[in-house]
Amino acid sequence: MDIQEIMRLRLARQHLLTPVDAITAASDLCGIQAQFLGAALHALRIRTTDASVDGLMKTWTLRGTVHLIPERDLPLYIRRQGTPEDVCDSGWYQWLKSRGHALPPERETFFARLVTDEIIRGNDTREGLRQACRAAGMTAQEEPVLFSGWGGVIGELAQLGVICHKVQSEKAYRLCPAFNPMPAEEAQLELARRYFTHYGPATLRDAAYFFRVPQKDVKAWLNKLPVESLTCENREYFHIPTQTPDADIPDCLFLAGFDQLMLGYRKEDNPFLPSENLRGIFNLTGIVLPPVLLHGRVVGKWKQEKDHAKITLFEKVLKKDQKLIERAGKTLWPNGVTIE
């Protein structure tokens, strides 16, 4: 198998050649990264027949980041369904405690219960919850801890399966549905099975990068999964064989910001991303910009501009390829694209 076939299989298995429904896409891809909701919705748009968010929820899952996942998959990602009184058992609180930045347990528990009760009463926006905590005596020193952009008390409650984001642009929250968490080992193996089915063929380093685990953990999963291996350009790849459409690599794709085709593999080894264009997509502030994929190669990035998209190319392309980009843009935006 050559690298072009590996790329074609990845595109097919990530539903970029033949669309599926949104629940299937979010499930197969181990969630859709959604710290910017517009990027997640675009990732669904290019993979699905109907980018509806019905049946999806938004919460912290893999790599400590927010994803869109099917509600039915919540037991895969959350290890327990706790209560606000369990907030000091959350990973975030324990991390803060280890560094001497955590609030006293009684204060953390008090505000966790307050936030949950406010959401139940319908005061569910981040700013509304902040104001309620201020009214209840939250100090200026406590506020940056409780409402940290990295999670705070809202993230701690989400880790316990108490609350989750509403799937909307404004930051607002709701209670999680009741669920029975899967045993940790069983859940991780299921996620690994989905990864090697829908991201494969992938290397050990790719999977370790995606899950943020040591390669020895990936090797242990591979020993329990029905994977096949192959070698290409002196690298060993693993995948779980599945039927894939007999379709070629598309002429042009507008991937999403934080797209799974970029996040699913170690970025330095991703054959879709030339090394000279890597920093054009993965910038130094941790943002993964939306790529323009031309014949399977990232050649630029795009930015939404009301009813069209602005394309910034990283390299020269032929006039006929510019026309391919323009034609593809017209299928997504009313006024197509402009190319810089």
- For position 126, what pLDDT does the model report? 96
pLDDT tops 80 at residue 51: no
Query: Do the beta carbons of residue 156 and residue 90 sit within 8 Å?
Result: yes
- For position 238, what pLDDT does the model report? 98
pLDDT tops 80 at residue 310: yes
Q: What proportion of the chain, given as a percentage, has pLDDT over 70?
A: 100
Give the sign of the dihedral formed by CA 106, CA 111, CA 116, CA 121: positive
pLDDT digits (tens, 9 = 90+) for 59-69: 999 998 999 99
Give the chain's mean pLDDT.
96
Give dist(CA 106, CA 177) in Å, integer.
26
- For position 339, what pLDDT does the model report? 95
pLDDT digits (tens, 9 = 90+) for 253-305: 999 999 999 999 999 999 999 999 999 999 999 999 999 999 999 999 999 99
- For position 245, what pLDDT does the model report? 82
pLDDT tops 80 at residue 30: yes
Give dist(CA 38, CA 195) in Å, integer.
24
pLDDT tops 90 at residue 149: no
pLDDT tops 80 at residue 11: yes
Query: Do the beta carbons of residue 83 and residue 188 sit within 8 Å?
Result: no
- For position 150, what pLDDT does the model report? 83
pLDDT digits (tens, 9 = 90+) for 78-97: 988 999 999 999 988 999 99
- For position 246, what pLDDT does the model report? 85
- b/e per residue 99-132 (b: at least 16 CB within 10 A): eeebbeeebbbbbbebbbebbeeebbbeebbbeb
- For position 262, what pLDDT does the model report? 98
SS3 311: strand
Q: What is the mean pLDDT of residues 95-104?
A: 93
Query: Do the beta carbons of residue 35 and residue 258 sit within 8 Å?
Result: yes
